Amino acid sequence: MKTYEKLYLEIGYTFHNPALLKEALTHSSYSNEHGLDYDNQRMEFLGDAVVQLGVSELLYERHLAIDEGKLSQMRSALVNKNMLAKKAREMGLSAFIYLGAGEEQTGGKDKKSNLADCFEAVLGAVYMDGGYDIVRKLVRELFEKELQNISEEEVFINYKSILQEHLQKQRQSVPKYRVKETIGAFHEQTFVVELYINGILAATAQASSKKEAEKAAAKSALEAMKIL
């Protein structure tokens, strides 16, 4: 079994039963390759619920005047594949993931899906080993920066809708979005999106998803029009 002292420091928690942590770090490719009777998929299922609950509770406590729908949007902004993969990287989880040879050779340690799943599995393992109070404290520490900086305005404003409504009022054609290119490996792509208004390039933006790139392009166009 690997030595986990460095990971314990990053997590801020020492496991009483390190076997739970090993299970959380074991990708199915490694399990299949080594004939194991476990992998981290079940632990990831548990961890998904634990992280959702922890973030939900913190948002509920901090935003007393916000309704259920908006709280759900805020939670989605905090608990998604990109964010969880980011948190996994911050914790240095990639150095500890057990991967099969083929998965590792194809960049498995950097895949967002692997990192996000592993992050959730580790939180599930912490829950199994130490209970919910420990997990809640850990979630608070891991997401504190995002919890403080999350902007209701950024979460709730639909820049694409605002732009389209403005153009319709001006009797102009609806904006057109086009993916100009994708940058990077398949598991770590950046989408470059162009926004055209009346056939003229109005803005270009890039993000880790097509949806976010379109949103950023719409915001940029609105700012150029002095609407924002």
Q: Looking at 23, 44, 48, 117, which residue is catalytic?
A: 48
Would residue 48 show up in a list of annotated catalytic residues for this protein? yes
Do 183 and 190 touch, CB atoms closer than 8 A?
A: yes
Tokens linked to 117: 């799943």
Would residue 117 show up in a list of annotated catalytic residues for this protein? no
Q: How far is CA 141 from the centre of its chain?
A: 16
User: Over the Cα atoms of the chain, what is R_g?
Assistant: 21
Q: What distance in Å separates the CA atoms of residue 228 and residue 135, rounded to the nearest whole number?
A: 40
Tokens linked to 190: 């950046």
Q: Looking at 39, 120, 129, 194, which residue is catalytic?
A: 120
Q: What distance in Å separates the CA atoms of residue 27 and residue 84, rounded to the nearest whole number?
A: 16
HSE-up of 201 (CA within 13 Å, CB side)?
A: 8
Residues with catalytic roles: 48, 120
